[in-house]
Amino acid sequence: MEEKLSAFLKNQMPVAADLAIRGLQRRPGGASRESWAFEVAWRENGKEFNRSCILRRDPTGSVMEGEQTNRSLEFRVLKALESTPVPAPKAYWLDSAGKWLERPSLIMELVGGQPTPGPTFPVGESPELRAKIGARFVTILAELHRADWQALDLAFLGAPSVGTEPAARQVDLWEMAYRNRLEVHPILEETFCWLRRNLPATDRIALVHGDYRSGNYLYDETGRITAMLDWETAHLGDPMEDLGWASMKFWNGAGLAVGLMPRAELLRRYENESGKPVDEKSVFFYEVLGNAKMAAIALTGARAFSEGTTSHMLHGIMGLLVPRLLEDLVDQLRL
């Protein structure tokens, strides 16, 4: 990997001299992408440079495949976000086809801060820290949805029309992912029928993160969120989608949405921060879709493991999440 990485960076920076890779190490986790941390040092025009970086590379098997995620898309979104108040890592280099690094990869800034150990904020952290991070979590989401995606040249993401098209697109995407499942799940079959019968309309198109929750940000001891991570599912759509995903019972910690605050407070704070009304029926729709989406992701991971395209044990155990998600769907839809 070090040899491949060095060759790639020399190609990207032809005027760099004495380029050196230091401390290259694969990081644990990463159900959807491999992560490698390293430093790169070089000289250019008589000056010395040093960058701390994260390499994100497509694995051999993943919980998300095909159109659900894309290195080039993530790279362009990160570049666009540099001019906004939304904290995100700077994107440095892209190997979109995997010509240099075997599989599609991007290299971005290594940002200081610590992640939550799971998809919810740790119960053991102080209430004061939780409150500060919760406030920033909502503020950043409002800033993201306010971002002028047209001025940021994000039209390449393909803007849906206002109305029900944003919801229909997401149902299409995740039902297609489900159709690649290992087995038929009657509850999911009924869920996708319900989703198609209950598509919500929106009058606002925004840049949607697609996986906005604890576990996908870094924070410091002062309660500052230093970076929002994992932009691989970013798209243009209904801003209520991010609220629905963050509100899911699946991410609850101690009865709090993503471990930060009660669901009702999350929605109220978002209204105050964004200046836009929250459509609770739409939020509920996206909570239901979120459970179906997460089930499709879990089934995809389990399939990849069973077919031998990945040996990552996390993928192997993801099938165990499905019963819990189905239970939530039964409760939501009164099946």
| Domains of the chain and CATH, by start | 2-109 (3.30.200.20), 114-333 (3.90.1200.10)
pLDDT at 197: 98
- Range 216-236 average pLDDT: 96
Model pTM?
Answer: 0.93
When pLDDT is cut at 50, 70 and 90, the band that residue 68 belongs to is very low
When pLDDT is cut at 50, 70 and 90, the band that residue 314 belongs to is confident
Instruction: Give the type of residue at 78.
Output: L
Query: Do 289 and 195 meet the contact criterion of CB atoms below 8 Å apart?
Result: yes
- Range 9-35 average pLDDT: 89
DSSP H helix total and E strand total for the chain: 10, 10
Tell me which long-range contacts 318-326 makes (C-beta under 8 A, separation of at least 24): 318/31, 318/63, 319/182, 321/294, 321/295, 322/185, 322/295, 322/298, 324/250, 325/250, 325/291, 325/292, 325/294, 325/295, 325/298, 326/185, 326/187, 326/188, 326/295
Q: Please tell me whether residue 31 adopts helix, strand or coil conformation.
A: coil
DSSP 8-state code for residue 160:
P
Q: d(Cα 148, Cα 89) in Å, to the nearest integer?
A: 19
Q: d(Cα 333, Cα 194) in Å, to the nearest integer?
A: 8
pLDDT at 310: 67
When pLDDT is cut at 50, 70 and 90, the band that residue 30 belongs to is low
Query: Do 231 and 217 meet the contact criterion of CB atoms below 8 Å apart?
Result: no
- Range 181-194 average pLDDT: 91
- Range 189-198 average pLDDT: 98
Q: What percentage of the chain has pLDDT greater than the value 70?
A: 95
245-302 pLDDT, tens digit per residue, is 999 999 998 899 999 999 999 999 999 999 999 999 999 999 999 999 999 999 988 7
